[in-house]
Amino acid sequence: MNEKELILKAMQEAGVPLNAGKIAELTGLDRKAVDKAMAAMKKDGSIVSPVRCKWEPAQ
């Protein structure tokens, strides 16, 4: 599983919007790797921000 898949899986399992720090904690990935993957995911529209600084999978 790549970083993006791990991040999406953690978000779906949590069921609530998460910040990058919490995602790093849940996935075991390095925070910098999470930030980099999330930046790409924001650009391609696979994650959205319902609340400032928190993210969830796009519907």
Domains, the chain: 3-57 (1.10.10.10)
CA distance 43 to 25: 23
Give the number of residues written for the chain. Answer: 59
Q: Could you tell me what percent of the chain has a pLDDT over 90?
A: 97
CB contact burial 39-51 (16+ within 10 A = b; e otherwise): eebeeeebbeeee
pLDDT digits (tens, 9 = 90+) for 22-39: 999 999 999 999 999 999
pLDDT of 13 > 90? The answer is: yes
3-state secondary structure of 29: coil
Global pTM reads 0.90
Residue 59 is predicted with a pLDDT of 84
The pLDDT assigned to 1 comes to 81
